Structure 1
Amino acid sequence: MDSLYFLIPIAILFIGAAVKLYFWAVNSGQYDDLETEGRRILFDDDEAPRERTEARPTDGEDR
């Protein structure tokens, strides 16, 4: 029974911290755009690879 006097206030502090963290996330805009991140993986943002041009020899040799 004595441990409940210790554990209940700690649980209330954890719940209060979780609620405060949740409201901070909502107010700072963490949940504003939920669709973009889910669609980002579907589209390739990389540019097309450029073709490499081999350097031509400058001493007149043909390869």
Structure 2
Amino acid sequence: MDILILLIPLSLVIVGVIAWIMLWAAKNGQFDDLEGPAHSVIMDDDTPPKPNGPAKP
């Protein structure tokens, strides 16, 4: 039971640090566009580039 004297404050500190990190990330725009990077990979332009000169046999 004596370990609870250490574990309860330690867990509160850890929860506080996690809450601070989440608030910092939200203020700095880390969660603004969650789907954009995923869609940009799928919707990549797959058309081949057109040749500049005449085709050589």
Identity %: 37
Q: Which runs of 5+ in 1 are unaligned?
A: 52-63
- Post-superposition offset of 1:34: 1.6
Which residue does the alignment assign to 2:14?
14
Structure 1 residue 46 displacement after superposition: 7.5
Q: Is 2:34 the partner of 1:34?
A: yes
TM norm structure 2: 0.73
Aligned-CA RMSD value:
2.1
Structure 2 residue runs of 5 or longer lacking an equivalent are 52-57
Q: Find the residue that maps to 1:2 and give its secondary structure.
A: coil
1:20-61 deviations in Å (ceiling 9; x for gaps): 00000000000111220120220225884687xxxxxxxxxx
Larger Rg: 1
User: What is the rounded CA distance, in whole Å, between the counterparts of 2:16 and 2:5 in structure 1?
Assistant: 17
Aligned counterparts, 1:46-57, within 5 A: 48=48
Q: CA deviation at 1:5?
A: 0.1
Distance in 1, Cα, partners of 2:10 & 2:47: 52
